[in-house]
Amino acid sequence: MKQDKRLSILLVIGIVALVFLLSRQYFLRLDLTEDKQFTMSKATRSILHKLEEPVDVRAYFSENLPADFEKVKTDFQNLLIEYNNISKGKVNYQFINPGVDEASEQEAMQNGIQPLLINVREKDEASQKKAFMGAVVEYGDQKEVIPFVSAESPMEYDLTTAIKKISVKDKPSLGFLQGHGEPQIGQMAQVAQALSVIYTMENVSLESEPVAERVKALVIVNPTDSIPEEQFKKLDDYLAKGGKIIAALNAVNGDFSTATGSAVPNNIFQWLASHGVMVEPTFVVDASCGKVTIQQRFGNFSIPTQINFPYLPLIKSFSDHPATTGIEGVMFQFASPIKFASQDGSVFTILVTSSEKAGTQNVPLQFDIQKQWTEADFPLSNIPLGGVVEGLMNNPDSRLVVFSDGDFIVSQEGNLNPDNVNLMLNTIEWLVDKSGLAELRDKGVVYRPIKDLDEGKRTFTKYFNFLFPLALVALVGIWRSQRNRRKRNQRMEEKYV
């Protein structure tokens, strides 16, 4: 009997040792999340397989942090282990505790990792502690900083894009049309910063030269002045050679200072119509919308109050298309309906639409902030607000993407809705890069407010989250009780030894 026990113990120890050794060689994880948040993407694998030189990652993480911060460190470390395995040892990493001494802390800050103050509770006393949670990625003489790693940030996207940014040699060129009142690249700071990872951005003027062959895609953002006809000929020539154009345009304009709405006269809409795309100069109103702040008077006081403003559609309806992968909520400002009629056998695919409760209003109009909106104001559904035309100018490779809002990526303050940025990045990547980074970018970007669920789903979600853990505990308790009862009954039997 004792010998059997020894053999069993040795067998268990052997199995544990074997599993431990195999786990160092192979990394296996079961991912049950909806968006496969913990499954390594094809984009990451492709980038890691193409590395020509080693990548060194120095992760600066403080120790003895609260449990939720320690989990971030553990997740990041597991991610680096997987990167090391997939790259066959080309991604090397080390964890440094900046709290060891002042020199380590200075090293972290000199590398662009700034500390943050977190609240901790020790021995029933609340205090603040300095914490470092960032990383430096090096490839040859190139360096990229991930200043802060958090539970909410898409770790794989941050790490993969950092590696690609410093390892890519020849970045494809993106052109931004200028010379007709378009915003500068700096006015699209969030988009420009994200694009700079894998693209070279340049201003394009059509006054004297055609669109250069090196320009893989041309972005036209809200020109306020008319474009000379000879320049439209250059755009057609670019499309005829298989060029890609993204046009984000305002057909209507809303002025908050005067509370008025008007049409935008610009001949670019005639050029779009020549390719079958009609952007109507009317306002789309949507029951799913953003809010504006107004001052309401209560006696002698004015209190800022937020109200729904249907002229700011909150887009949550997207086609199943690479350009809209993972996009959940885009905020448009004064959008217009888009219609299409093929001129040369080209094909139009709708990318984004209004909600099922929408409508249109003709210009000119006066915004009524105090208006009480009803179901009758939203008689239409799924109005196209963006789409792509393929196969223009008899070239199957040509693409023309049109969005009926020229401001959805323009922001100098850096406060754009994240999915506004992601929609443009996904679209450009689909047209040009094909690397698959879009699926990474949207990991962790979730817009699912419970108030937007219908009543039945909201009630089910609320009670399921409350009752399921209790039911699970109860089931475990019943199972343990039954098991113990069976054991007691066995001991009471005469034959039990």
Q: What are phi and psi for residue 215, nearest 5 degrees?
A: -75, 110
Contact 162, 148 (CB under 8 A): no
Q: What does the block give as tokens for 484?
A: 């113990």
Q: What does the block give as tokens for 93?
A: 């990493």
Q: What does the block give as tokens for 286?
A: 């949507």
**Where would I find the beta strands (DSSP E) of 287-383?**
289-298, 301-315, 317-318, 330-331, 338-340, 347-353, 358-361, 365-366
Handedness of CA 32, 35, 38, 42 (dihedral sign): positive
Q: What does the block give as tokens for 399?
A: 């693409």
Residue position matching structure tokens 């300095």: 130
Measured distance CA(105)–CA(486) in Å, rounded: 60
Measured distance CA(302)–CA(467) in Å, rounded: 44
Q: For each of the chain's 497 residues, which pLDDT tens digit applies?
A: 556 667 767 777 877 777 666 655 555 555 555 555 557 778 888 889 989 899 999 999 998 888 888 999 999 999 999 999 999 999 999 999 998 888 889 999 999 999 888 877 766 677 778 889 999 999 988 899 999 998 878 889 889 989 988 888 788 899 999 999 999 998 999 999 888 878 999 999 999 899 999 999 999 999 999 999 999 999 999 999 999 999 999 999 999 889 999 999 999 999 999 999 999 999 999 999 999 887 777 667 778 888 899 999 999 999 999 899 889 999 999 999 999 998 788 999 999 999 999 999 999 999 998 899 999 999 999 999 999 999 999 999 999 999 999 999 997 566 788 899 999 999 999 999 766 666 666 555 444 555 555 566 667 766 777 677 778 888 878 888 888 888 777 767 655 55
Q: What does the block give as tokens for 287?
A: 């029951």
